[in-house]
Structure 1
Amino acid sequence: MVLTSIRLTQFVGGPAELVDLAVTAEEAGFDQVWFASDPFMLHTWSLCTAVALRTSRIHIGALGMNPATVDPSEIAAHLGTLDLLSGGRALAGIGSHTDGMVPKIGLDGSTIPGRTAEAVRLVRALIAGQDAPTDGEHYRWQPGCALGFTPHRSRIPLHVTAYGEEFLTAAGGYGDGVLPILFPPETAAEVVGWIRAGAVAAGRDPSEVDVAGCVWVSVADDPAAAGDLIRPTIAFFGPYLSEHELAVVGLSPADFAPVTAALAADGVEAAARLVTDDMLRLAVVGTPDEVAVRLRGLVDAGVTQLSIGGPLGPDPDAAIRLLGERVLPALS
């Protein structure tokens, strides 16, 4: 059976609201909740900790913990602590969905894939109570580095937050799961193929790798309202998409040029006003029935976890409940 998760960002509320939405997601039947890690955004670790103390069943993940900005020792310490607080419900998404965010803080985004592979190896060893490896290219720790406490579990699922064919293929070889952005959703079959190929090349059974397809969703009984709501999200993330990803739905970087320029000059709201109806196809938008059909297509393409990100709907809390009542049953 396909897993379901909610991804929450500050675009749908402040810290207290996001924690409340995670509680709603648990009540609505979602299996997991993830909080994105981005520079200068609300901090995922604080949100995960608060949710652990407010919930009892749902698994809690920090998504996109970027080893270009966060040392694996900190990632392991956070995960181990979260696993203790939550009674064994911690998850991790290590890596990044783009190399385009870290240069603005003076870092080299080209090292993210290599750092991610090494970070997963280091974190896995630390959580297991082992001494960390010392032979990395990016991390040359001294012998004897180990956690100073024992997590609830000796193995916490480590998903890889990856982008692009090469990175996603490699991630299939070492991640417990992979968190690809399916933006647009029609890229699912191709992305699943890359991840499975990476697993096979590494001598793994592809079915052991959770393909957690990340999609942006806006659901409402009024499809026009759902479309208008998601325009800021598309304005923010659309400019990061490759020419190939845009071409899948008949778009090009030139189509996004006005959006990109407005985003840089005047911010998200100004850019959102330039998002066309054609650009809405990059996300999953519409009534509950329409959303269920589009998500079912991802499952048919081989996605094993549907990771649903905001804005969710005009009222995020109501949208999560709507998803739980009318969309999740159609996917089981």
Structure 2
Amino acid sequence: MVRWGLVSGGGDGAQFADAVKTAQAAEDLGFDTIWMGEGRLMGSIVPLMTMVLEHTDRLKVGTSVLPYRTRNVSLLAGTFKTFDEMAPGRAIMGLGAWWEPLASRVGLPNAKPLKAMREIITVSKRLLAGETVTFHGEFVHVTDIRFDSPHDDEGRVYDVPIYTGPVRFKMVELSGEIADGVALDFLVPPSYTVAAREALERGAAKAGRTLDDFGIAQLVSCAVDDLDPQQAIDECKFFLTQYIAQQPHITEFSGADPELVDQIQKLVPWPATASQVKEAMRLVSNEFTQSVCACGTTSDAIEKIREYVEVGVQEPILVPRGGRDLETATAIFEKGRLAGL
């Protein structure tokens, strides 16, 4: 049976309590992991991650993703050191690049992402392994540093796997070489996952290892409504339309027709209003939406998730749309378990 993950939204402080309750309910249901990230300028996910770790007992908590250049590497690794101290073996560091044009707008253009990711993972792993590190690269410069809490004097090792959130295949391949796992992105068909698995294997071969102990998770945008399947499809269609307009690195692998992409991008600026996205989503078909999202009836969603599992996904990470996160997650999880997933 597969592991099951669930994305939990952040939001403002007033919503933190609801997010913690969702994580607790997911743990009670049998979910394995809660994932949360900093995809836009919505604030830091660290306080919410801390709350979820504090108020759950078994659930692993991962970032999918933290933008890798927004924190000095010593602070980045130190944050996850702290998580492992408070909840041993339950934190997963998931790293990714901010997408353009946002990265450039905040002064961190996404230049040489492969080199940046390699340097950041290399140094983070060494710090978490209790080493004293000197490293001078293009993006990371540290000299003779180590963690220096009293219990670090003997080189304490922290059990923090490092995942990436790659999209393009060179980053996927690098992940297979140096990371502990991947959280592949959503809004891509299972054929993308097949190609990603091949890239992971190439990367692992470079490092002289296999994927036997490597985690392969995949975000899956989902919405279900057995009484009104079209409503569920439309929830995912809105999300898909917004991403086609604003995140070309995902659109590139979604299978979208270039003419459709051009039409949508003309209608939807960044940032966009909900009415602008709704206007553009009329151009997107149900067939295309269901090719990259688990939506419609609950059975439709299970069959789409099964497609990902059959090509190598070990942990489908549900990304519910439509504001009924726990209801959607419960319906899919329970029916998925009954279906043998």
C-alpha distance in 2, partners of 1:188/1:257? 25
Q: Which residue does the alignment assign to 1:245? A: 253
* TM-superposed deviation, 1:48: 0.6
Does residue 164 of the first structure (1) align with residue 173 of the second (2)?
A: no
Change (3 A) 1:101 1:172: farther
Q: Secondary structure at the match of 1:142?
A: strand
Does residue 298 of the first structure (1) align with residue 308 of the second (2)?
A: yes
Does residue 322 of the first structure (1) align with residue 331 of the second (2)?
A: yes
C-alpha distance in 2, partners of 1:290/1:143? 54
One-letter identity of the residue aligned with 1:2: V
C-alpha distance in 2, partners of 1:217/1:97? 23
Tell whether the 8 Å contact from 2:92 to 2:160 is kept in structure 1 after alignment.
yes
Q: Which residue does the alignment assign to 1:3? A: 3
* TM-superposed deviation, 1:11: 7.8
TM normalised by structure 2 equals 0.87
Does residue 255 of the first structure (1) align with residue 257 of the second (2)?
A: no
C-alpha distance in 2, partners of 1:217/1:229? 8
- The structure whose RCO (Cα within 8 Å, separation 6+) is larger is 1
C-alpha distance in 2, partners of 1:48/1:283? 26
For structure 1, the 5+ residue unaligned runs are none
TM normalised by structure 1 equals 0.89
Q: Which residue does the alignment assign to 1:134? A: 135
C-alpha distance in 2, partners of 1:200/1:2? 25
Q: Which residue does the alignment assign to 1:224? A: 230
Q: Secondary structure at the match of 1:307?
A: strand
Q: Which residue does the alignment assign to 1:272? A: 278
Change (3 A) 1:301 1:133: farther
**Cα distance per residue 1:120-173 (max 9 Å; x no partner):** 111111122111242433211111343536589623111112220111111110
Q: Secondary structure at the match of 1:306?
A: strand
Q: Secondary structure at the match of 2:145?
A: coil
C-alpha distance in 2, partners of 1:320/1:22? 11
**Cα distance per residue 1:160-193 (max 9 Å; x no partner):** 1222011111111011001221422322111111
Tell whether the 8 Å contact from 1:218 to 1:284 is kept in structure 2 after alignment.
yes
Does residue 84 of the first structure (1) align with residue 85 of the second (2)?
A: yes
* TM-superposed deviation, 1:226: 0.9
Q: What is the aligned-residue identity percentage?
A: 20
Change (3 A) 1:217 1:69: same
After TM superposition, which residue ranges in structure 1, 4 or more long, deviate above 6 angstroms?
none
Q: Which residue does the alignment assign to 1:173? A: 177
- Root-mean-square deviation (Å): 2.5
C-alpha distance in 1, partners of 2:240/2:307? 21
One-letter identity of the residue aligned with 1:89: R
Aligned residues: 328
Change (3 A) 1:227 1:263: farther
C-alpha distance in 1, partners of 2:43/2:214? 29
Q: Which residue does the alignment assign to 1:192? A: 197
One-letter identity of the residue aligned with 2:29: A
